[in-house]
Amino acid sequence: GIQVEQSPPDLILQEGANSTLRCNFSDSVNNLQWFHQNPWGQLINLFYIPSGTKQNGRLSATTVATERYSLLYISSSQTTDSGVYFCAVPRGGSQGNLIFGKGTKLSVKP
Amino acid sequence: DAGVIQSPRHEVTEMGQEVTLRCKPISGHDYLFWYRQTMMRGLELLIYFNNNVPIDDSGMPEDRFSAKMPNASFSTLKIQPSEPRDSAVYFCASRAAGANVLTFGAGSRLTVL
C-alpha cells in the first residue's frame, strides 16, 4: 500500500522563526491533507491540497504531485503553532480512508 | 455548528469490562469515520459508514470491536471485553458527500487497566 513519510520527526523553533515540513508519498494521489494536532489532542484540518499552492495566513502548503511530495511552510512561528503536524492521503479511491504519516512534532519556544 | 461531538472524553476501565464510545457527526454529513491513535501505530482507520451503512471495517482489530450507526446523527464504537492494549485515543470524524475534508471530534481517551 501507499507509504507516507514525514520529516523531520521533531522540530524545535524559537518564536518568530520560519520552518518547512515535508511529506513524501509513495504513489500518485488525488487528495492530500495537512492536519495540526494541538497539545490538547484536537485534530484540525489545515489544507486540502492535492496539487499546487495554498496560503492561509502564516501557513502555506505546496504539493508537487508528479514528484510525490508536499511541503508545509510556517512563517513567523508562534507558541500556538506547537503540536504535531500530519499529512494524510487516501488509501485507494476512498476519500475518507486517510493514511496518516507519523507526523512532525513542532515545539515553538517563547 | 457544534462540530463532531464525542463522549466520553476520558474513560478509565478495568480489563474485561465493556466500553462504549459515542459520536454525533455534523448534521448533514453523510460519512462517519472511527480512527484510533496510539504511539506505536499512529492514526489508523477502524471503520467508516456512508449513509449509516458500514462500508469498510477492515481496520477493526478483532471481534471484540463493533461499531453501529443506527441513524444519521449517532454512532457507537463498542469494545467487549476490553484489554490493556486497547488503550488509545479514539477519534470520530465526519464529512459531507462530495467533500474532501474531514472534521474530527475531540477524541475519547481510553485507558484499560
pLDDT tens series, chain A, 110 aa: 889 999 999 999 999 999 999 999 998 888 899 999 999 999 999 999 999 999 999 999 999 999 999 999 999 999 999 999 999 998 876 666 788 999 999 999 99
Cβ–Cβ gap A96/B89 under 8 Å: no
Q: What angle do CA B92, B95, B99 make, to 5 degrees?
A: 155
Q: How many residues does chain B have?
A: 113
Sequence-ordered list of residues with C-beta below 8 angstroms from that of A38, at least 6 positions apart, any chain: A44, A82, A83
Looking at the complex, does the CB of residue A102 fall below 8 Å from at least one CB of chain B? yes
pLDDT in the model for residue A93: 61
- Cα–Cα distances (Å) from A7 to A12, A51, A70, in that order, read 13, 19, 11
* pLDDT exceeds cutoff 90 at B9: yes
pLDDT in the model for residue B101: 85
Cβ–Cβ gap A42/B43 under 8 Å: no
The C-alpha of B9 sits at a distance from chain A's nearest C-alpha, in angstroms, of 11
d(CA A87, CA A4): 8
d(CA B45, CA B57): 9
Contacts of A98 in chain B (CB under 8 A): 45, 102
Q: Is B40 helix (H, G, I), strand (E, B) or coil?
A: coil
d(CA A72, CA A39): 19
* Residue owning grid cell 504511539: B39
**Confidence bin at B98 (pLDDT 50/70/90):** confident
DSSP B2: -
Looking at the complex, does the CB of residue A9 fall below 8 Å from at least one CB of chain B? no
pLDDT in the model for residue A77: 97
Q: Tell me the one-letter amino acid at A2.
A: I
d(CA B52, CA B30): 8
Lowest pLDDT segment from A87-91, B9-13, B36-40, B48-52 = A87-91
The C-alpha of A17 sits at a distance from chain B's nearest C-alpha, in angstroms, of 28
- To the nearest whole number, what is the mean pLDDT of chain B? 95
**Helix H or strand E segment including A64:** strand A59-64
Cβ–Cβ gap A95/B91 under 8 Å: no
A-contacting residues in B 91-110 (Cβ below 8 Å) = 91, 93, 95, 100-104, 106-107, 109
Region B73-77: what's the mean pLDDT?
97
